[in-house]
Structures are given as C-alpha cells and as structure tokens.
Amino acid sequence: MLALACDIGGTNTRLGLVRDGILLSGSTGSYSNDDFEDFYAVAATFLHERDTQRVDSVCIALAAVATAEGATLTNRDWTIARDRVAAASGAGRVDFINDFEALGYAMGQVEKLKSQCLTPGRAHGRPGPRLVLGAGTGFNASAWCPSRFGAAPHVVAAECGHMTLPLAGEAEFSLQGALSAGRGRASVERALSGRGLFEIYQWQCAKAGRVPSVATAADVSRLAVTRADRDCEQAGHMFMRLLGRVCGDLALAYLPFSGVYLSGGVSRAFARSLSKDPTFLDAFRAKGRQADFMESFPVHLLLDDRTALHGCAEWLRLSAA
Amino acid sequence: MLALACDIGGTNTRLGLVRDGILLSGSTGSYSNDDFEDFYAVAATFLHERDTQRVDSVCIALAAVATAEGATLTNRDWTIARDRVAAASGAGRVDFINDFEALGYAMGQVEKLKSQCLTPGRAHGRPGPRLVLGAGTGFNASAWCPSRFGAAPHVVAAECGHMTLPLAGEAEFSLQGALSAGRGRASVERALSGRGLFEIYQWQCAKAGRVPSVATAADVSRLAVTRADRDCEQAGHMFMRLLGRVCGDLALAYLPFSGVYLSGGVSRAFARSLSKDPTFLDAFRAKGRQADFMESFPVHLLLDDRTALHGCAEWLRLSAA
C-alpha cells in the first residue's frame, strides 16, 4: 500500500510518500505555493520527482472544511477537488482531514517527531492521552487518546482558538479591554496567534506611553527572545504567560499524562525563552492546589515541520486497518 | 452475564443490576449512606432484597482515585476494597471508574436517560461527540466520542473544575477579586458549584450594600428561580451566565455535535430558569463570529438520577466486548 500524504498550508505545501502507514523519511518535499498554479501541479511535480506513477490513496491535511466534492483553502484561492486528485494520482481513495486533527493523529507516532522537552526530569509521563496545541496564524488544539478497550486510538477535534481568553488581575483586564475593542469579547486566539502577539505589543507600548517601533509579530518575538527591546520583551512575557495558562487549562480538559506538545510558528519563535525563562511553565502550573497535579504532564516543543505528514500517515494506517 | 452497577455519592448510594450491558430498570435502588456502616453492607442489603446470590462482575462509580486495592471516598470515611467487594458479591471482576467518566459512558446510552431539551428546534444535532458537564459539590465534564474507525467509543476524562474561570468586564472582575481572595486564583468550580453559588450571592449582597439574609446555596437557587429575593436572583443570573460561558468554551474543546448534557444538583436547581430565561443560552452562544457555529450543539438538562448507573452498564458492555 503506497499512499500520498499532503499538508497544504497557506504558504507552503509539504508532501511525502507513505508505505503501510509509515512516512518514508527520504521521500518528503516542501514547495512554495506561489510557484504553482494549483495543488494538482504541486502533486504532479512531487510524484514526477519521486518517479512515482500512482498511489493507492491520498490523505490531505489542510485548514478547511471538506465536503463530498473536496475543499477550498481559506487563506488562498485554491479549490481541491477529490476527483481531480484521484485522477492525477491514480488513487482509489482521497481523504481530507483538518490540519489540527492531523497533528493529533501524529501523536500516535510521536517517537518519530523531533521535539524538545521543556520539563527536564519528566520527559515521559505515564500512559494516557497526548495533547498537541499551537499558536500560529490562529490557535487550536487536538487530543490523541489511547483506547481503553484495545481498539484504535481516538483523536478529539476542537476549535479551542474560539474559547474565552482566561484573564486575571488588573493588567490583564486592561489587555482584555484592548483585545476585545470593537469585537465584544477576546477569544484565546485573539492573544495567542501572530496577530495577537502584535496586539499585545501595541497594548504594551500604549501602556508605556511609547510609539510602537516594530512592524511585525515575527520582529516582536525575535526582539523579545533576544531581549533587544523592552516593549517586545514585556509583550513576549505576557504572551508566554497566557500561553502557559491556556496550555494548563487544556491539560485539565484532556489529561495528557503522556505529554503536551506545543506546535505552531509563534510557539516555536519563543523556543529559547520557553526553555530558559520560567514564565510559561510557571503559568502552566499555576492551578492553586492542583500545582502538583500539573507536574503529571510532560511538556514538549515540537520542532518537526513534517508533523502533519506523520499525522496523515497514522490516519492512513488506522483507516486501512 | 449479570453484573452489579454502583454509584457511590457522599450522601446516597445507588445500585442496579445489569444484564448484558443494559441496566435492568426495575432493579435499581437508592440507599442513604448514613443508614449503613460501610459499602459492603449497602451492597449486601441490595443483593438480598433482589434475591440475588452472586453477580459476574461489579462496576463502581465514585469521586475517588482507585488503586489496585480499591478506593477511599473523599467525602466520607469509607474504604472500598476490591477483594471484599469480590468476596461479598461473588464477582470475578471489580472495576472502579470516576463519577464523571461514568456520566461520559452513559452518553453511549443517552436514549435511555430522562432529559429536557433547552434548545427546542434542535434537539438532535448530527453524529459526533456528546459532552456531559455539571455543577454540584464541584464541577467537572466528560466527553463521549464515537469512534471514527468503527471501534468502541472513547470517553475523555477531565478535571475541568480546576480550569481558569473565564471572566470579562468590570462586574465580573470584581467577582474574580472576591472569589480569588486568599487563594491567588479563581477556578471554574470556585463559581460553578453549590459553594460557588453561595459566594456569588455573598459578593452580590456586598456589592448592593446589604447583609446576606439567606444561609445556603439551595436557598439561593430556590429564591432565584422563584424570583423571591433580588440578590438571589442577581446571583442566579451571574451563575447561569458563567455556566453558559464555560459550557460554550467546553463545547469548543470537544465539539459535541450530538449534544451537550447538563448534570449536577446545582444545574438542576436552575431547571426552570435554564429553560425560560435566555441568560444561560445567550452566554453559551456568545462566541463572537462563532455564534452561528454554537447553534450546532443541542443542549439538554439531564433529569435522570440513574445516569451514572447507566454509565456503569455501558462500561460493563464495552469492557466485556
């Protein structure tokens, strides 16, 4: 059984070949969407480069809701029709899964993923669910749960980015006012996303009575981590504190005794701070009398660009069984 | 296969006989713990009354963490040893599950449960997970997820009562101050429990400059629902608003397209208000641009005292398969 795994993002598309539910590590490739007219051209190029005429099935992970016909990317004018993918790849079956569901399925093959442990001394935890969550363009999470009855594991899909942003204390209430202005409320991803980080930075500058001098979220995180700008640094601290708190809240919702995995571009941009600065982990643990209980959950930062492809592979493995 | 299902609460213990994974409806009984020296005496009385000498297995739902030996109730001085239950009932197998996990398993037999729909016109939803959550002595939730691959359904256990209480706006920030005084934080169950309702009432009285005239949470909910006391009524509104918001947040975490089920004594005490007053459902839906999406989730109030027993039955059915 040879299959094609695809992870279609807004900017890049990653592809890989999967045999019997395992991603062939030498087979993967990444392509800039701007270089192609449509997804079919990306897939054709990939298969041609891999000297592969046809595959048995295709699994596509993307940030979109799929219908019987296919899916349309939310952040790019690409429609991906199931029958055209089948025709171009020879596949008898074409499946679409949500991008975060793919990360959830990847938790079933976590030993294949590059990651960094943020809780040294407790890297492994005990048997139980795994939680993957991430801040990037938006925020979301997904939980992988081993079955209690020897059946296939289960992946819980979610829309955690739209949950209420949990805030406490005066400074954060002022931030809530800024983030909810004109919107009536502040959701989790209103703060925990690239755009959210930038709005936290703007709020921080306003609070300090300074004019923002930095133009992008990427710059804010870079200057925060290198401690080169005090407003960026303060904004970074607030971001990590809120990320830690939300991460802890979601750990209480899924009890991931087998590990919490942070994903997403903005989370990764804070890699150095997450491992050296206690802000994130302190907020993760700050659950009153449950602080000791929070130590049950090992926390890791995912560093693997191919996590969603491994998730497609695991999905193909489970759906073929 | 005859089995014994037990739901041990702090005040009452409910028991029932289960044949082939189905609770025998005429078999159930409820006993006041105060009338018995220990759990074994309750079980013996029940089996004697049902003219039953022995069962094949036992499933016990309770608010405690079980070990290999058994479990000790957190709110009563009762230890339940696995081997003594086995000896007293003749069972070859004695299993313990968490009280909220039992409610989660009961979602697999939801058609057997008495409930009231709070979202008329959309009682059924579409295939997907079911979420059960409740405010009583504490607060918790559990999600039942049908398997994607034709295997057994999965129940997600949680500790949602310890998540951060999501608050917004000035009045609620003042409440946060009151609820977190001396504790450093306010968790979900700090507000959404019997004790929480009473603390909201006390805060409401202080805000209004009145001396509290009501002594128990049960009185607060009764006077709120009957609109007999304005402070109780205001406290009840705040309680329902926070319950609706948390309920909506948790719906986003588990996507219960097949239904949200409210459980617990304090939730039930507000039954009349939940169905007549829009406060709860308005707060449930108040997720900004996701308000329409929130309509995907039917919401019900569980009225069945035997929900946990049905959950034990479903657990016995799944574990025997």
CB contact under 8 A, A245 and B164: yes
Q: Which helix (H) or strand (E) holds A224?
A: helix A217-225
Share of chain B above pLDDT 90, in %: 88
CB pairs under 8 A between A and B: 130
The answer to whether the Cβ–Cβ distance between B180 and A157 falls below 8 Å is no
Q: Is the pLDDT of residue B321 over 90?
A: no
- Give the pLDDT of residue B154: 94
Are residues A256 and A204 part of one domain?
yes
Same domain, B122 and B70: no
Instruction: Find out whether A200 and A235 touch, Cβ atoms under 8 Å.
Output: yes
How is chain A split among helix, strand and coil, in percent rounded to 5? 45, 20, 35
- pLDDT value of residue B58: 97
Give CB contacts under 8 A, 24+ apart, made by A207-212: A207/A174, A208/A234
Cβ within 8 Å, pair A250-B253? yes
**Does A110 map to a domain?**
no
A229 in a domain, yes or no?
yes
Tell me if A33 sits within 8 A of A13, measured CB to CB: yes
CB-based contact A252 B147, cutoff 8 Å: no
Of A156, A249, A255, Cβ closest to residue B164: A249
- Nearest-CB residue to A252 (from B154, B159, B319): B159
Could you tell me if A158 and A252 lie in one domain? yes
Tell whether A254 is within 8 A of chain B (Cβ): yes
pLDDT confidence bin for B11, thresholds 50/70/90: confident
Q: Residue B320 and residue A104: Cα distance in Å, rounded?
A: 28
| Residue B107 maps to a domain | no
Give the rounded percent of residues in chain A with a pLDDT score beyond 70.
100
Instruction: Tell me if B168 and A147 make a contact (CB, 8 A cut-off).
Output: no
B159, B179, B246: best to mutate for the A interface, most A CBs within 10 A: B159
Q: pLDDT-based confidence at A154, cuts 50/70/90?
A: very high
Burial letters for B154-187: b for 16+ Cβ neighbours within 10 Å, e otherwise?
Answer: bbbbbbbbbbbbbbbeeebbebbebbbeeeebbb
**Domain residue limits at B130:** 115-303
pLDDT tier at B301, thresholds 50, 70, 90:
very high
For residue B248, pLDDT beyond 90: yes
Q: Is the pLDDT of residue A99 over 90?
A: yes
Average pLDDT over residues B204-217: 97
The reply to whether A135 and A38 lie within a common domain is no
On whether residue B215 sits in a domain, the answer given is yes
- Lookup: tokens for B59: 């499933």
Nearest residue of B to residue A316 by CA position?
B149
A174 within some domain: yes
C-alpha A42/C-alpha A26 separation (Å) is: 18
pLDDT at B121: 84
Q: Name residue A195's amino acid.
A: R
Nearest CA among A2, A207, A184, A182 for reference residue A92: A2
Q: Are residues B298 and B171 in the same domain?
A: yes
pLDDT of residue B59: 97
Count of domains observed in chain A: 2
pLDDT of B147: 82
Residues in chain A: 321
Q: Does B192 touch chain A (CB under 8 A)?
A: no
d(CA A306, CA A16): 9
pLDDT above 90: residue A83: yes
Q: How confident is the model over A158-205, as pLDDT tens digits?
A: 999 999 999 998 899 999 999 999 888 999 999 999 999 999 999 999
Distance CA B154, CA B160 (A): 18
Q: Does A53 touch chain B (CB under 8 A)?
A: no
Q: Which 288-317 residues of chain A touch chain B by CB within 8 A?
A: 288, 290, 293
pLDDT above 90 for A71: yes
Kindly report the nearest CA distance between residue A201 and chain B, in angstroms.
21
> Would you say residue A75 has pLDDT above 80?
no
The answer to whether the Cβ–Cβ distance between B163 and A288 falls below 8 Å is: no
Asked if A134 is an interface residue toward chain B (Cβ–Cβ < 8 A), one would say no
The answer, for B254 touching chain A at a CB cutoff of 8 Å, is yes
Q: Determine the average pLDDT of the residues in B151-172.
A: 94
Q: What is the pLDDT of residues B118-137, one digit of tens each?
A: 998 888 899 999 999 999 88
* A75 within a domain of the structure (yes/no): yes
Query: For residue B195, what is the domain's CATH number?
Result: 3.40.367.20
Looking at the domain assignment, is residue A254 inside a domain? Answer: yes
Q: Tell me whether B31 touches chain A (CB under 8 Å).
A: no
Same domain for B69 and B195: no
Start-to-end CA distance of chain A, whole Å, equals: 12
Res B145: pLDDT: 96
CA distance A208 to B283: 34
Q: Do A249 and B154 touch (CB under 8 A)?
A: no
- Residue A253 has its nearest CB partner, among B151, B180, B253, at B253
When scoring B160, B183, B185 by the number of chain A Cβ atoms within 10 A, the one with the most, hence best to mutate, is B185
Residue of A nearest to B163 (CA): A249
Within 8 A of A165 by CB-CB distance, chain B residues are 166
pLDDT surpassing 80 at residue B74:
no
Across the interface, whether the CB atoms of A164 and B245 are under 8 A apart is answered yes
Is A188 found in the same domain as A70? no
Does the residue B110 lie in any domain? no
Q: Does A193 touch chain B (CB under 8 A)?
A: no
**Nearest CB partner across the interface for A151, out of B151, B176, B249:** B151
C-alpha B211/C-alpha A106 separation (Å) is: 57
- Domain check: are B237 and B290 in the same one? yes
User: Considering chain B, what is the average pLDDT of its residues?
Assistant: 95
Share of chain A above pLDDT 90, in %: 87
Contacts by residues B285-288 (CB-CB < 8 Å, ≥ 24 positions apart): B285/B248, B286/A184, B286/A185, B286/B244, B286/B245, B286/B248, B287/A162, B287/A185, B287/A187, B287/B248, B287/B252, B288/A162, B288/A183, B288/A184, B288/A185, B288/A187
Residues B89 and B119 in one domain: no
What strands lie across the sheet with B115-117, from one edge to the other? B115-117, B299-302, B260-263, B130-135, B139-145, B154-156
Same domain, B75 and B167: no
pLDDT in tens, A1-43: 899 999 998 889 999 999 999 999 899 999 999 999 999 999 9
Together in a domain, B45 and B60: yes
CATH of the domain at A64: 3.30.420.40
Q: Do residue A20 and residue A95 come from a single domain?
A: yes
With a CB cutoff of 8 Å and minimum separation 6, the contacts of A225 are A236, A269, A270, A271, A272, A273
On whether any CB of chain A is under 8 Å from the CB of B140, the answer is no
Average pLDDT over residues B103-127: 94
